[in-house]
Amino acid sequence: MIKGAHFLVAFVLLALSSSFAFAFDPSPLQDFCVAINDPKDGGYYLRLIPNLIFHAVFVNGKFCRDPMLATANDFSFSGLNIPGNTSNQVGSNVTLLNVDKIPGLNTLGISIARIDFAPYGGLNPPHIHPRATEILVVLEGTLYVGFVTSNPNRLITKVLNAGDVFVFPIGLIHFQFNIGNTNAVAIAGLSSQNPGVITIANAVFGSNPPINPDVLAKAFQLDKNVVNYLQKQFWVNNH
């Protein structure tokens, strides 16, 4: 009986450790794997047998180009110095550079974003990144930032000025709000080549097809007419 209990404990620990090991983008086993959308663009065997049907390696959800065909452009992007358009309902704009913008990021487990905020009130609404921890550095302005822990849902917040840094743990709801009277700019590093984003209000009230209003009315303890009103709003995607 004791042996069985030890085996069960060992099995659970092994399962937990395996889950942890695969919780983030896997480490690459090659120098790089430049992402391509069409396997015919891979270039493998192209130099040796031009008429052969092309095929490419599939890694981290993307096909890889023959490394001998990689160029500097696969690893670079120009224009992150250009301010994003903040003339929307939330007053912010996120310029995300993930694997779709920089193909050379494939398998490297990292991406970067520029976040622009309109003067007082510019908001990057509460959202989560399902696959990434975020580290934010403020370049200009003053931001009120924070995240909410898992149950019992403790709010952790701080006011940041230029040069300040803040970390938002993976999968937790977080936000940034411009409390200054000037534009604000921040740069965020994310621990995934494709971190993903779920903006809470958009997902809950703007999903397609919509969530049953009865579900939301009970979940948020709101009158159903309020839920119907919220579901009819235009929810801004600032990415």
Top pLDDT among 79 and 4 is at 79
Lowest mean pLDDT: which of 9-18, 81-90, 125-134? 9-18
Would 222 be classed as within a structural domain? yes
pLDDT at residue 30 in the model: 81
Would 62 be classed as within a structural domain? no
What is the mean pLDDT of the segment spanning 215-230? 97
As a whole number of angstroms, the distance between CA 144 and CA 188 comes to 15
pLDDT at residue 234 in the model: 87
Distances (CA, A) of 94 to 105, 114, 185: 19, 6, 10
What DSSP state is assigned to residue 54? P
User: If you count DSSP H runs as helices and E runs as strands, how many of each does the chain have, helices first?
Assistant: 4, 13
Domain span including residue 208: 92-231
Q: Domain of 118: which CATH number?
A: 2.60.120.10
Number of domains in the chain: 1
Would 83 be classed as within a structural domain? no
What is the model's pTM?
0.82
Which 3 state secondary structure label does DSSP give 94? strand
Would 97 be classed as within a structural domain? yes
Would 69 be classed as within a structural domain? no
pLDDT band per the 50, 70, 90 thresholds, residue 120: very high
pLDDT at residue 230 in the model: 96
Lowest mean pLDDT: which of 46-55, 79-88, 99-108, 206-215? 46-55
- 205 backbone dihedrals φ, ψ, rounded to 5°: -105, -10
What is the mean pLDDT of the segment spanning 88-113? 94
Top pLDDT among 164 and 5 is at 164
Secondary structure (H, E, C), 166-224: EEECCCCEEEEEECCCCCEEEEEEECCCCCCCEEHHHHHHCCCCCCCHHHHHHHHCCCH
Would 40 be classed as within a structural domain? no
Mean pLDDT for all residues in the chain: 86
Would 115 be classed as within a structural domain? yes
What does the CA dihedral 102, 166, 17, 5 come to, rounded to 10 degrees? -160
